[in-house]
Amino acid sequence: MSGPFAPGRRVRVKALYPPGHTRTPWYTRGREGVILDLVDVEPDPEERAYGRPGLPAVPVWRVVFAQHELWPDYAGPAGDRVVVGIFEPWLEPVEERS
């Protein structure tokens, strides 16, 4: 898979708060994670929710977020994490830090 989205790539969830139906949990917005794998390519639920076909279908990526990234005051160890399916239009690539 070419392009900015592939397993292992660092991504950020867009900090957008549009009205209407979305599948992007609020706690992930504006947060950075790493793509684990591709779930599927699915009709866009933000369109389907309003009776439209949601085509072309969009890739859905499982993204791994460190708990300390999601919640700066998280009390547990550094290895704790949350894996969330994120629809690709919500993702933006993060430049690798060297």
Partner 1 sequence: MSHDHHEHDHDHDHEHDHGHGHPPGERHPFQPDLEDGPYTWHMALADAVEALLLEKGIFRPEEMRRTLEDIDSKTPANGARLVARAWVDPAFKARLLADVNAAAAELGIDAGPIPIRAVECRPGEHHVIVCTLCSCYPRLLLGAAPDWYKARAYRSRVVREPRAVLAELGLELSEEVAVVVHDSTAELRFMVLPERPAGTEGWDEARLAALVTRDCLIGVARPEVPRA
From 1-9, 10-18, 67-75, give the range in contact with partner 1 by CB under 8 A: 67-75
79 binds partner 1 (CB under 8 A): yes
- Return the residue of 18, 19, 20, 77 that touches partner 1, per CB under 8 A: 77
68 contacts partner 1 (rule: CB under 8 A):
no
Q: What distance lies between CA 92 and its chain's CA centroid?
A: 9
Report yes or no: 31 and 7 within 8 Å, Cβ to Cβ. no
- CB-based contacts of 16: which residues, under 8 Å, 6+ apart? 29, 90
**Residue 10 Cβ, how far from partner 1 at the closest point, in Å?**
18
